[in-house]
Structure 1
Amino acid sequence: MALRPIDNALPISPDNPRLKKHAKVSIQTQKRAPEVGLNDENKAPLSQPVDASVDYSASENLKPFEDPESNIQRLVEGLDSKDWVTVCELLNFVRRFAIYHSGLLLPILEKVMLVIVKAMKNPRSALCKTSIMAALDIFDAFGEKLLDSTDSSAFDQLLLQLLLKASQDKKFVCEEADKSLTVLVNSIAPLPLLHRLHGFVNHGNLRVRAKAAVSISNSVSKMGSEEIGEFGLVLLLQMASDLLNDRLPEAREAARSIVFSVYKAFTENEKSNPGEAWQSFCEKNLSTIQAQSMIKVVSSSSSR
């Protein structure tokens, strides 16, 4: 009995067009850059060298430059690069300059911040994470100088992007943004930082509100009664009252922490009857329902 031919079999001929097509796919597959633990969006384009990679070195593992003057020039010339791998490399330059040669970075700090903001907006997680790490090292190196050396809008853009990245679902980006926000709170005095942060508790994104609330809570917890009074007891009270009704537990917990800080500052000089003074203060500056919530937060904590 004769065997039936296999219709889909490919003739073994180098001129067969279907064979060429399969060979082309195989060659292209071999040319792809290795996927070293990155998401699909972070695969290098075919034009990238196979060994292209991103360095996620911890700050303590970065080294100073042997010739920082020539490398700062290379940094200045390359900041506008359109190649994402090059930008990642230069952002790691920024990190090394911030840690070891901050004086050379200071004159171009504002431009660097704008590049960092642009990189954070990039859909490539590798580039986004590297930019967040650069922001962390800048916060740690410059602290309050950052507010004096850059345009306020540049700092506000950077702060917004960090809050957005800390609010997203990509874990390794989100965790890095959280670390950067923590360093920010620890590097800049609470009062000037609060003036930049407090507007974000009204953001339309509930996760951004929660992240802003946590940073505000951490800042307020470091303030004395005089600083809290300078920022505004009533302003903090009303802010906490709004956050107590927020949808995310993270925001509500931060709000309770803010309430305790405000209560402590307010009652510091109220030795005779702090409970009544606090109740009167809340009722004067909040609606009846809001005031009752504030009183309940404090009383429930005291009864524990």
Structure 2
Amino acid sequence: MPLRPIDNALPTTTDDRPRKQSKVVLPATKQSERPLNDENQIPMQSSGDAAIDYIYSDDLKPISEPEARIQGLMEDLNSKNWLNVCQALNDVRRFALYHSSLLFPELGKVASVVAKTMKNPRSALCKTSIMAASDIFNSFGDKLLDPSTSDAFDSLLIQLLLKASQDKRFVCEEADKALTLMVASIAPLPLLLKLRAYVSHSNPRVRAKAAISVSNSVSNMGLEEMEEFGLGEMIKVAADLLNDRLPEAREAARSIANCIYGELTKDEEQKLEAWQNFCQSKLPAIHALSVFKTINP
């Protein structure tokens, strides 16, 4: 018996043009067809395609009715519909940039949800939450270290260090940007007090990322701030990192040592002698020699 033709066959196409890099297109599928743990699945049935745009901060616009929107912000951030969460995260960014006084009373709760969302395996959610953290740092800076938001900041910090340490490149790069903006937005001394615990983290990549942030913070400090933190403690951090397995951590250690050297010997005539005496007074002999040799006057 001859085979009957299929009437509803889908047309074929040879259009292989790549999609734009700024957009992640997520096709909807029936619930029964979705594989488990698929990070691109949409948690609802839909007849069309859903798109997530990664919007630069400069392209974000103010919210037309911010007083009304703030009332439902937390509910949308905790939504089970991840598309709603992405939209709410972008609204967090808009609040941070244009309506910060309305966001501040909710900042601790919002920052905690942003940190929690970074753990989501879905890349679109993860990256958008990191971008939200950047805008929060840019707008609130030192206010994130207030008692009401300090715990939320701790959660943001560890998640950013973890995301910057992972293999997914575009997430890693976004987390690196957020950490750089964090250092630029928060006073170095209180930030160092938060960061110093992570330079001895069990994950070597986290140690390296923390070391880079420490180095960048130290580069913004004068001698008085260094002494307030503790020059002995600071040079011990550098000495420990000099023996780290990752080159990024070792390079950060050399940068920290050079920053201390520059401030400590600024008014000294015999700079190397003063530096040698300092290293020997703060470190065991073998470590003192290693740190001393990092200097290239």
Q: What's the TM-score once normalised by structure 2's chain length?
A: 0.86
Deviation string for 1:246-291 (max 9, x for gaps)? Answer: 11111111110000011122223433x3322221221222122111
Supply the distance in 1 between the matched residues of 2:197 and 2:47 (Cα, whole angstroms). Answer: 44
Supply the distance in 1 between the matched residues of 2:201 and 2:100 (Cα, whole angstroms). Answer: 33
Kept after mapping to 1: 8 A contact 2:117/2:126: yes
Give the match for residue 111 of structure 2. Answer: 113
Q: Note the aligned Cα RMSD (angstroms).
A: 2.3
Give the match for residue 32 of structure 1. Answer: 29
- Residue 239 of structure 2 corresponds to residue 253 of structure 1: no
- Residue 288 of structure 2 corresponds to residue 294 of structure 1: no
Identity level (%): 59
Tell me the SS of whatever aligns to 2:233: helix
Bigger radius of gyration, 1 or 2?
1
Alignment partner of 2:271 out of 267, 271, 274: 274
Give the match for residue 240 of structure 2. Answer: 242
Alignment partner of 1:262 out of 260, 263, 268: 260
Please report how far the alpha carbon of residue 12 of structure 1 lies from its aligned counterpart in structure 2 after TM superposition: 5.2
Supply the distance in 2 between the matched residues of 1:49 and 1:246 (Cα, whole angstroms). Answer: 53
Q: What's the TM-score once normalised by structure 1's chain length?
A: 0.84
Supply the distance in 2 between the matched residues of 1:254 and 1:235 (Cα, whole angstroms). Answer: 16
Amino acid at match of 2:94: R
Kept after mapping to 1: 8 A contact 2:134/2:182: yes
Please report how far the alpha carbon of residue 147 of structure 1 lies from its aligned counterpart in structure 2 after TM superposition: 1.2
Supply the distance in 1 between the matched residues of 2:172 and 2:40 (Cα, whole angstroms). Answer: 16
Supply the distance in 2 between the matched residues of 1:254 and 1:269 (Cα, whole angstroms). Answer: 25
In structure 1, the gaps of 5 or more residues are 15-22, 24-29, 34-39
Alignment partner of 1:80 out of 59, 78, 81: 78
Kept after mapping to 2: 8 A contact 1:32/1:45: no
Tell me the SS of whatever aligns to 2:176: helix
Tell me the SS of whatever aligns to 1:223: coil
Tell me the SS of whatever aligns to 1:150: coil
Give the match for residue 18 of structure 2. Answer: none
The more displaced of 285-294 and 75-84 is 75-84
Q: Cα distance 1:147–1:49, how it changes in 2: closer, same or farther (>3 A)?
A: farther
Supply the distance in 1 between the matched residues of 2:69 and 2:191 (Cα, whole angstroms). Answer: 32
Supply the distance in 2 between the matched residues of 1:52 and 1:31 (Cα, whole angstroms). Answer: 7
Deviation string for 1:22-69 (max 9, x for gaps)? Answer: x9xxxxxx8539xxxxxx622324624533222211000011011111
In structure 2, the gaps of 5 or more residues are 11-26, 31-37
Amino acid at match of 1:147: L
Q: Cα distance 1:231–1:279, how it changes in 2: closer, same or farther (>3 A)?
A: same
Kept after mapping to 2: 8 A contact 1:190/1:223: yes
- Residue 172 of structure 2 corresponds to residue 156 of structure 1: no
Supply the distance in 1 between the matched residues of 2:198 and 2:101 (Cα, whole angstroms). Answer: 31
Amino acid at match of 1:239: V
Kept after mapping to 2: 8 A contact 1:267/1:278: yes
Moved over 4 A (4+): 11-14
Q: Cα distance 1:46–1:71, how it changes in 2: closer, same or farther (>3 A)?
A: closer
Structural mapping, 1:89-238, within 5 Å: 89-148=87-146, 150-238=148-236
Kept after mapping to 2: 8 A contact 1:32/1:50: no
Q: Name the structure where helix makes up a greater proportion of residues.
A: 1
Please report how far the alpha carbon of residue 97 of structure 1 lies from its aligned counterpart in structure 2 after TM superposition: 0.4
Kept after mapping to 2: 8 A contact 1:110/1:149: no
Kept after mapping to 2: 8 A contact 1:62/1:96: yes
Kept after mapping to 2: 8 A contact 1:233/1:266: no
Supply the distance in 2 between the matched residues of 1:150 and 1:95 (Cα, whole angstroms). Answer: 20
Kept after mapping to 2: 8 A contact 1:109/1:149: no
